[in-house]
């Protein structure tokens, strides 16, 4: 049993063969996944997918790259969707300093508004961070995000920052990069962070793990991520799969 905590099966890359992708995931033992919507079209599609498939849940939020497009009506829409029985988290939200479509001040404002909404409705949050660790940690502290906690998605930072996030009630989610030969930090994090604070994800169709790097990613490959963590920790794949699945179910409130 594997729980892929971050998929974008709502992306157009899966339009042609979604059913086969889902079947392959089941064959590899993926029993649950969370489809993440991050703008109007992908949120709409995430809701459709979680309504069509029992083992799919959804998370809805506004991506920092598109923060500049979020209107007050969009925030109200997120509030409405948070009451949907299959919506288990808000996000992805956060800061992305790699792309400059949205000014940093707007990104921060949209991030803070979504943290406040999560506290209002009592859902955990999924954090996207690109080149913005210090500001993210500061905002999570200032907004007291500990109250809801959540996931540092596709975590690529240091062991030290991981521990700081865990202290704020967050889980560390590892994805494809942990399988890359030169990815020193994710491997250190996989070894140092206790199993009861780790999650696995694919972030598909992006960040494809070794040996499929360069091809489209899909949920079946989350097994490669779990296998790599097992190897680094010197434990079995079953142990990693079981612990990370239980962690995700607990966080998302899934029975």
Burial of 221 (0-12, 13-18, 19+ CB in 10 A): buried
C-alpha closest to that of 178 among 164, 205, 199, 149: 199
- Residues 76-95 binding Zn ion (CB under 5 A) are 92
45 belongs to the binding site for Zn ion (CB under 5 A): no
Closest contact distance (angstroms) between CB of 94 and Zn ion is 8
Nearer to Zn ion, 39 or 231 (CB): 39
Closest contact distance (angstroms) between CB of 8 and Zn ion is 6
Closest contact distance (angstroms) between CB of 232 and Zn ion is 23
Closest contact distance (angstroms) between CB of 64 and Zn ion is 9
Nearer to Zn ion, 92 or 218 (CB): 92
Cis peptide upstream of residue 205 (ω within 30 degrees of 0): yes
In 10 A of CB 216, how many CB atoms?
15
Alpha carbon separation from 88 to 26, 154, 244 (Å, rounded): 21, 18, 16
Q: In the stretch 198-227, what mask flags binding to Zn ion with x, by CB under 5 A?
A: -----x------------------------
Find the part of the chain contacting Zn ion (CB under 5 A) among 71-79, 122-130, 192-200, 241-249. 122-130
Nearer to Zn ion, 82 or 129 (CB): 129
Cα 42 versus chain centre, distance: 15
The CB-nearest residue to Zn ion is 128
- Residues 135-174 binding Zn ion (CB under 5 A) are none
What is the token pair recorded at 176? 């494809």
User: At CB < 8 A and 24+ separation, what contacts does 225-231 make?
Assistant: 225/174, 225/175, 225/176, 225/178, 225/179, 225/200, 225/201, 226/2, 226/200, 228/178, 228/179, 228/190, 229/174, 229/178, 229/190, 229/198, 229/200
Residues 83 and 124: beta-carbon distance below 8 Å: no
What is the token pair recorded at 181? 């030969």
Nearer to Zn ion, 65 or 117 (CB): 65
Nearer to Zn ion, 96 or 143 (CB): 96
Closest contact distance (angstroms) between CB of 63 and Zn ion is 7
- Spatial neighbors of 160 by CB under 8 A, at least 6 apart, are none
Instruction: Choose which of 32, 57, 108, 128 interacts with Zn ion (CB under 5 A).
Output: 128
Nearer to Zn ion, 203 or 218 (CB): 203
Find the part of the chain contacting Zn ion (CB under 5 A) among 75-83, 97-105, 123-131, 216-224. 123-131
Closest contact distance (angstroms) between CB of 96 and Zn ion is 8
Binding site for Zn ion (CB under 5 A): 92, 128, 203
């Amino acid at each position: 049993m594997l729980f892929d905590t971050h998929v974008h099966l709502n992306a157009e890359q899966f339009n042609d063969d979604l059913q086969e992708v889902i079947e392959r995931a089941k064959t590899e033992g993926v029993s649950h996944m969370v489809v993440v919507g991050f703008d109007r079209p992908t949120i709409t599609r995430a809701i459709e997918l979680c309504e069509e498939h029992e083992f799919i849940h959804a998370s809805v939020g506004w991506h920092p790259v598109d923060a500049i497009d979020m209107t007050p009506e969009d925030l109200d829409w997120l509030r409405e969707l948070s009451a949907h029985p299959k919506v288990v988290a808000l996000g992805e939200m956060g800061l992305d300093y790699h792309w400059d479509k949205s000014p940093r001040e707007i990104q921060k404002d949209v991030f803070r508004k979504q943290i406040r909404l999560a506290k209002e409705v009592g859902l955990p949050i999924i954090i996207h961070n690109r080149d913005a660790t210090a500001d993210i940690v500061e905002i999570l502290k200032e907004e007291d995000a500990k109250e809801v906690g959540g996931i540092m998605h596709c975590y690529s930072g240091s062991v030290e920052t991981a521990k700081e996030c865990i202290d704020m009630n967050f889980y560390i989610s590892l994805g494809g990069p942990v399988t890359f030969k030169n990815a020193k930090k994710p491997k250190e994090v996989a070894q140092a962070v206790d199993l009861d604070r780790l999650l696995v994800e694919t972030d598909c169709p992006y960040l494809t793990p070794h040996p499929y790097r360069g091809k489209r990613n899909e949920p079946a490959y989350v097994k490669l991520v779990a296998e790599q963590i097992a190897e680094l920790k010197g434990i079995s794949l079953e142990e990693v799969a079981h612990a990370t699945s239980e962690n995700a179910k607990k966080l998302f409130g899934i029975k």
